[in-house]
């Protein structure tokens, strides 16, 4: 039985679809939504901007808030509660480092607009990395 589900979310429709899938298919499970900020890129924009903040954790929480607001709206529409967690750095590493605390991971097959070639080149495909390396089952939602 699946009792704890990790749903990594960015600002994509696929991430929202993953959360909806988790609600529908794991009605009794505790759902944790993870949003990772400070993603490395070729120009180091997000990561550098976050590193320059006086209070990195506060800045990360502020950047995650729009994603968590959407996640909470989806949860409220379904009369569900979620836990939210902010990660800092590389999304796949954050997900994989938390994986053993959960019974399964549900994530969108594609993240936010990855047409930015530089981002995809440096970071790689998060869904692919997680599905290959996770120690728990991974559900990819399209």
Give, for all 142 residues of the chain, the pLDDT tens digit: 899 999 999 988 999 999 999 999 999 999 999 999 876 554 454 555 555 556 778 888 888 999 999 999 999 999 999 999 999 888 999 999 999 999 999 999 876 554 444 344 333 488 999 999 999 999 999 8
CA distance 138 to 18: 11
Q: How far apart are CA 88 and CA 92, in angstroms?
A: 11
User: Hey, is 132 helix, strand or coil?
Assistant: helix
* pTM metric for this prediction: 0.84
| Residue 50 and residue 60 in contact, taking contact as beta carbons nearer than 8 Å | yes
| Dihedral pair phi/psi, residue 33, rounded to 5° | -100, 125
Buried b (16+ CB within 10 A) or exposed e, 67-89: bbebbeebbeeeebebebbbbbb
- Give the closest residue to 10 by CA, choosing from 101, 91, 123: 91
- CATH top class, domain 4-141: alpha beta
């Amino acid at each position: 039985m699946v009792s704890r589900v990790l749903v990594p979310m960015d600002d994509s429709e696929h991430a929202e679809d993953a959360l909806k899938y988790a609600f529908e298919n794991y009605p009794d499970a505790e759902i944790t939504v993870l949003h990772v900020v400070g993603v490395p890129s070729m120009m180091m924009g997000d990561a550098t901007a976050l590193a320059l903040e006086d209070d990195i954790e506060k800045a990360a929480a502020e950047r995650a808030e729009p994603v968590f607001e959407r996640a909470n709206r989806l949860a409220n529409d379904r009369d569900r509660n979620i836990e939210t967690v902010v990660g800092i750095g590389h999304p796949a590493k954050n997900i994989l480092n938390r994986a053993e605390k959960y019974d399964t991971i549900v994530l969108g097959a594609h993240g936010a607009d990855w047409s930015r070639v530089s981002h995809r080149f440096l970071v790689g495909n998060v869904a692919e990395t997680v599905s290959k390396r996770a120690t728990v089952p991974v559900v990819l939602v399209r």
